[in-house]
Amino acid sequence: MNKTLFLIGKFVCRSFFRIFYRVRVHGRSNIPSDGGVLLCSNHIHNLDPPFLGAFLKRNTRYMAKSELFTKPILKGLLPKLGAFPIRRGMSDRQALRTGLTLLKEEEMIGVFPEGTRSKTGKLGKGLTGVGFFALRSNAHVVPSAIIGSYKPFSTLTIIYGKPVDMQELRDNKVSAEEATEAIMKAIEDILVQYENEKG
């Protein structure tokens, strides 16, 4: 990863979002200042990855679908921005090994457990890859929620929740599917709480 290029990219993203949206950021204090972090979010738009990490002090690495790494410009740019490829379905062993290595090196990885954008805006079922990461590492697992339509000049909100306590699940050696369900429930809880407070 080219850290200078990454920081420039993050600055450009922050500027873009602040110009074209009314940005609301909540819960930044819930992001641990050190240690591996698995930042898990719902997925509603192609701009979710840059938005998820643009307003955080820590840099965020991303898994990106492998097809993007075949595009003329992106194939050279994405690795420099810290992204690494994964085949659809999050069952790519090389991507899983890469992710675990980064978490053990105390990096922060942004993931979208649904694996694809929600066509309805509702939270879908999470794939087991995120549960695998959570169980096989000692990373902090931070649920988050992106709320908004990405319509220009509308309000776009990102909420970072409190880390999910994974230790009991790790001690009980639960399945990756069960761990994923716990993470998805934490994301759903953020969305429900937002709607309740809004109402």
pLDDT at 79: 78
Pairwise CA distance, residues 152 & 127, whole Å: 31
Q: How many Å apart are CA 26 and CA 44, to the nearest integer?
A: 18
**Given this model, what pLDDT does residue 147 score?**
96
Query: What is the model's pLDDT at position 70?
Result: 82
Looking at residue 88, its pLDDT comes to 65
Number of domains in the chain: 1
Global pTM value = 0.91
* Greatest extent of the chain over all pairs of C-alpha atoms, in Å: 47
Helices (H), 62-162: 74-80, 93-104, 128-136
Counting beta carbons within 10 angstroms of the beta carbon of residue 130, is it exposed (0 to 12), middle (13 to 18) or buried (19 or more)? buried
pLDDT at 6: 83
- Cα separation, 123 vs 16, in Å, equals 26
Q: What's the rounded Cα separation, in Å, for the pair 183 and 38?
A: 10
Residue 43: give its domain's CATH number: 3.40.1130.10
Q: Name the stretches of the chain with pLDDT < 70.
A: 88-91, 199
**Distance (Å) of CA 178 to CA 43, 111, 129, 131:** 20, 17, 11, 7
What is the predicted pLDDT for the residue at 73?
Answer: 79
Q: Which domain holds residue 143?
A: 3-198
**What pLDDT shows up at residue 38?**
97
